[in-house]
Amino acid sequence: QARDDPMAQAVVLVFDSPGGTVTASYDLFKAVEELSKKKVVVAYARNLMTSGAYLAALPARKIFASPASLVGSVGVYTTVLSARELLGKVGVTVYAIKSGPMKDIGSFYREMSEEEVRVMQGIVDEYFQLFRDSVIAYRGNVSPEVFTGRPFAPREALSAGLIDGVLTYEEALAKARELAGLPPDAPVVELKPRKPTL
């Protein structure tokens, strides 16, 4: 909506998210990338801007964070649960009829083999490389600690190269106006997703 509105000269994306799936995060990253070609985009961490949410913020011209926010957690993970022993204790046996040895990789009903762990690690590594390359492309020379997966408090995030400043929301709006060459009293219109209806 902001991208297609000729009156919108700058967009402040306000984040409060721990991230999400690789696909959803990457789709949002690409959407912000497209938006930033047409508008001045500022990303603002109101609370959480971690993992996939941080990926989505990368194409913004500037990334700012609230003094009480958490930023970073650059990385990818997946979890696989196994209830094989529990099911065995209650007398449940599961038989998987499959077309290939890895068709049920990550199955809840059995332990993972070493080969399956290797395959899953390869998938995670590839997604992480996509994330890492995006961080380097947009943020340049960041601290190596950024790629350990840890979250950063705002001042730490600034020192690590993840953000461009620690500001209040009002200060972030003022910066967006300044970057777009707008007067200090340029009005702000808040856009939110439509509420679902019947």
Active-site choice (17, 25, 51, 73):
51
The Cα–Cα gap between 54 and 156 comes to 15
| Separation of alpha carbons 45 and 195, rounded Å | 23
Q: Cα–Cα distance between 153 and 155 in angstroms, integer?
A: 6
What is the amino acid identity at position 21?
T
The dihedral region occupied by 181, where left means phi > 0, alpha psi between -120 and 50, and beta the remainder, is left
Q: Among 38, 103, 113, 159, which one carries the catalytic annotation?
A: 103
Nearest C-alpha neighbor of 59 from the set 139, 4, 141: 139
Q: For this structure, is 69 an active site residue?
A: no
> Is 51 designated active site?
yes
Helices 22-38/114-139 angle, 10° precision: 10
Both structure tokens of 3: 């991208």
Q: Which helix (H) or strand (E) holds 84?
A: helix 84-89
- Name the residues annotated as catalytic: 51, 103
